Structure 1
């Protein structure tokens, strides 16, 4: 079975359209296709996919992971709090920034949290738990993740 790597994703040969797709396409896939189109809002799918993506990233430290998040334009992460048991990471300018605020205060950036979880579990060599606790789409000032070590 053919399996792609993160490095494979950098191989592009689009001489006319280039290496970017519009944010609205990504939002459509995530929020209409997966969130609205799959059972339970696609949570199981986004968590599984995100963790797998995180595990595949070429990072060895939290700092490298946060820099890659920004380089890939996932968002601009910053550590709000860090101790021996948990880390809180805010992500500014997330993909959901600018979407209408959802009435039920639904958190929709679970894929990004799962990417953090997969990468941090690989970096630390043990299971790490990441939970989204704030989201722009729910009216919060930024998206935020609580990392339990």
Structure 2
């Protein structure tokens, strides 16, 4: 028996006639920051990174520009490239899911899932390993979330 796997295109199929295709941001935040970040060992980082990479690999994108476009289309945030050279790309994300949350005093960044989505997509697009690290986060007082992509 073969285990069926869903695709990103499967996720776009909706049939919720009363509630529609949206869920509140507070539900997503609760799953991420209370359920996973506070409920799993090591803040759930291993889980969110694994999930994010898999999501990124499944996105129907073929270029960095398409990745940035779908990031905004999915309301993950509004991404823009703030630095690019042959060794790295820095992507700032405005209006990230964490925008407006109270600041954390311990400098812990919470948007590792979004960085892992970028990493998974870019690995597939570029056909090679890249690493992505969150270097700024709204919850630590920065004006936006930012990811450093090492090529």
Both structures adopt the same fold (TM-score exceeding 0.5): yes
Task: Tell me, yes or no, if structure 1 residue 110 matches structure 2 residue 112.
Answer: yes
Task: Tell me, yes or no, if structure 1 residue 143 matches structure 2 residue 145.
Answer: yes
Structure 1: distance between partners of 2:108 and 2:141:
9
Q: Where in structure 2 are there 5+ consecutive unaligned residues?
A: none
TM-score normalised by structure 1 residue count: 0.99
TM superposition shift of 1:34? 0.2
SS at match of 1:36: coil
TM-score normalised by structure 2 residue count: 0.98
Q: Deviations over 1:74-95 (max 9, x none)?
A: 0000000000000000000000
Task: Tell me, yes or no, if structure 1 residue 28 matches structure 2 residue 30.
Answer: yes
Structure 2: distance between partners of 1:138 and 1:20:
28
Out of 18, 26, 31, the residue aligned to residue 20 of structure 2 is 18
Aligned positions, number: 149
Q: Deviations over 1:99-137 (max 9, x none)?
A: 000011110000000000000000000111000000001
Q: Which residue of the partner structure matches residue 101 of structure 1? A: 103
CA RMSD of aligned residues (A): 0.4
Task: Tell me, yes or no, if structure 1 residue 127 matches structure 2 residue 105.
Answer: no
TM superposition shift of 1:22? 0.1
Q: Structure 1 residue runs of 4+, over 4 Å off?
A: none
Structure 2: distance between partners of 1:25 and 1:2:
27
Q: Where in structure 1 are there 5+ consecutive unaligned residues?
A: none
Structure 2: distance between partners of 1:81 and 1:130:
14
Alignment of 1:84-95 (within 5 A): 84-95=86-97
